[in-house]
Amino acid sequence: MTEDFFTYQAQTTPFASGMEIAYASENTITDVHGNQYIDMVAGVGALPLGHCHPAVVRAIQEQVAKYMHVMVYGEYAQAPAVALCKKIASLLPAPLDMTYLVNSGTEAIEASLKLARRVTGRSQIIAMKNAYHGNTIGSLSLMDYEERKAPFRPLLPGIDHISFNCFQDLSRITSKTAAVIIETIQGGAGFIVPNTYWLQELNNRCKKVGALLILDEIQPGIGRTGTMFHFTQHDIVPDVVVTGKALAGGMPVGALTASRAHMEQLKDNPILGHITTFGGHPVIAAAALATLESIEREGLMEQVGLKEARFRESLSSKNIVELRGTGLMLAALLPDARFTNDIVAECHRRGVIFFTLLYEKRAVRITPPLTITLAEIERACRILREVVDEYYT
């Protein structure tokens, strides 16, 4: 199968491992040779409940037996999608009470940019330096990484960039700005956590000039930092919240949530201001609702702090210069970028899956399922420490 994988399935890098998966359960992936791996990546943050969580599997199976796709988004009232949107509203502060369900995080980002321009009548979008919001044309336009953008130009015009956590740059947000969009923790940049006062001042500046504040919670959201949405730890209320990845427990999903007053502007002048065939898919929505309910029922968010502390204790090493991030969104920074890929590959050979980050080449990504156990944390950290020390002795 590996040969067919490289022959027929389009690749995104020259160095995919091509590991053949037999099955996955809880926090472990098993390949076709029977080798088991502790999953410290969780599908790049998309599996908060680990693999094949019984509640998610059951919700999918029950919904498949009733009906699957029946109509394009927004025409029929389908119980799973309605229940999911209602649930999301209950988890967010007012006036964030209306959700548009789509198929991926990057589609939700695209829709949020359209919404901001529709609501404000302005065109300028301000994003952060070293941001990552997805890879479709609008999302790609939000990057300032010219190496990745150049081959695909021309991109979306009217995009400017400021620095994350920089107070001085806030003055560049003006009455010409439709929206400022930020990741509530910068992912590809190395899991940079926002300064609370800066985030509050950013929010205040947006309100002062009439710009929308769009928060990208695609990676930090759905319990990963100990609360369902990371921004709630900073005492602000944005205009739009975007999520995806972990929302449906391993199924493809995206969502943007805003006030009813804002969201209703997508349905008129023109009608179909945003449209999607499979958004709000009943099977995906059922999986997402089961995911949110399971996270709450199992008290997983309350365990995040303890598990983060175990990571920090277990990765104390002279060759791991910093453990950046918060909760279960962590990046182990190495002394330099010479061996990052080799270290990740060697950990894989020893039975633990880690990954890398887009911009910060010194970083080893650690984003396990919220269900990861303390014993699994200790074993994975021991292997990472051993491998790092072997490369840096």
Q: What are the pLDDT digits (tens) for 208-255?
A: 999 999 999 999 999 999 999 999 999 999 999 999 999 999 999 999
Residue 1 has pLDDT above 90, yes or no: no
Q: What is the pLDDT of residues 116-139, one digit of tens each?
A: 999 999 999 999 999 999 999 999
pLDDT, the chain, mean: 97
Q: Are 188 and 358 in contact (CB under 8 A)?
A: yes
Give the Cβ contact number of residue 314 at 10 Å: 18
Give pLDDT, residue 193. Answer: 98
> Topology of 55-297 in CATH?
Aspartate Aminotransferase; domain 2 (3.40.640)
| Residue ranges matching CATH 3.40.640.10 in the chain | 55-297
Give pLDDT, residue 373. Answer: 98
Nearest of 96, 111, 44 to residue 246 by alpha carbon: 44
Give pLDDT, residue 138. Answer: 96
Going by pLDDT thresholds of 50, 70 and 90, the confidence category of residue 48 is very high
Tokens standing for 139? 């999302």
For a pLDDT cut of 70, what percent of the chain falls above it?
100
- Locate all alpha helices (DSSP H) within 159-254, ordered by sequence: 196-209
CATH architecture of 2-52+299-391: Alpha-Beta Complex (3.90)
pTM: 0.97
Tokens standing for 385? 């420490």
Tokens standing for 84? 């999911």
Residue 393 has pLDDT above 90, yes or no: no
Sign of the dihedral through C-alpha 352, 48, 217, 72: positive
DSSP 159: E
Going by pLDDT thresholds of 50, 70 and 90, the confidence category of residue 269 is confident
Q: What is the pLDDT of residues 338-348, one digit of tens each?
A: 999 999 999 99
For a pLDDT cut of 90, what percent of the chain falls above it?
93
Give pLDDT, residue 2. Answer: 87
Give pLDDT, residue 12. Answer: 85
Rounded to whole angstroms, the Cα distance separating 241 from 222 reads 12
Residue 272 has pLDDT above 90, yes or no: no
108-365-255 Cα angle (round to 5): 15
Q: Are 95 and 260 in contact (CB under 8 A)?
A: yes
* Mean predicted confidence (pLDDT) in 141-161: 94
| Residue ranges matching CATH 3.90.1150.10 in the chain | 2-52+299-391
* Mean predicted confidence (pLDDT) in 182-193: 97
